[in-house]
Structure 1
Amino acid sequence: MSVTAMIAEMNKQERIAWLGAALFVPVALYLGWRLFLDPAGIDGLASTAAQRAGARVFMLFLLGYGWIRWKGAGRFIDERDLRIAARAAVVGYLWLALTLIAAAHVLGLESFQDYVRSRSLAWLEAFLMFGLVSSGAAISCTRAVLYWRDRR
């Protein structure tokens, strides 16, 4: 089966889930690499590309979402889509809560104060965007897997 035929069989919500996975996962990996593995990120610096990556991926996702909603044939959402979206939202919000709680905990620890002070504002902004983008990746991947499993 070709990719085009497979996409044609998907409903709108499944297409949106795969679009989100295709956009959010690479950007989350990129931000994680730039913040925690890149030598500049280890030193507490972040590039402007890392700062703006999250905003750009959200903008691309919204454009793709609008295109799928406008051009796609068929019903936009049904009860199955609502159940899948609810399960995926729980996963995404739990991941976001975990990242924010971990960040708040690190900020409150006395032993990490030198580490926190060594981070630039650009790095902290990119870290917050990493939490948001990785949450979007968790939601999109969960939805894509649930749709894939449902079709099997």
Structure 2
Amino acid sequence: MKYPGWWLVILYFVGTAPVLGVNINLRGNLIVTPPECILNNNNQESIHFGDILLTRIDGTHYLQDLPLSLTCSELAKNNLTLTLKGEQTTFNSNGALKTSNSKLGIVFYINGSRQAINQPVKFTYSALPSLKVAPIKNSTANYSNTDGGHFTALATLKVDYQ
């Protein structure tokens, strides 16, 4: 080889040449809206207990099914919560819904277990919970201090995306 020293000089300069950087701009659109879910086809549900006897009201007699259907679009995850929202009675520490009769409340059952008002319960879209309701009375309620007649209660079922 005629010029062996030149190759070493060239390799030295190539090996120590400054590295050039290139800025990269990245862009996107982050959409942070939860999926749309429709509960019971946007219909209000009504439960009619009919004629009930004060002496049989205990939170299990007169149990009624509360229909639940849910349609969600574009669910990224299967995790949801269901909350029964409403005003709680003052006489039941287990979270009964207040009614228009101060001696009566309504208790909710989710998948057979008693559920307190305003407390979320986790479920998956693929396994909707079963809901039931029943009237409950104040333990001090009797014929002499309880007015009979029509009673009403109002609760809201709320589904949240996790």
Q: Which has the higher contact order (CA 8 A, sep 6+)?
A: 1
TM over 0.5: no
TM-score by length of 2: 0.28
TM-score by length of 1: 0.29
Q: Which has the higher strand share?
A: 2
Q: Which has the higher helix share?
A: 1
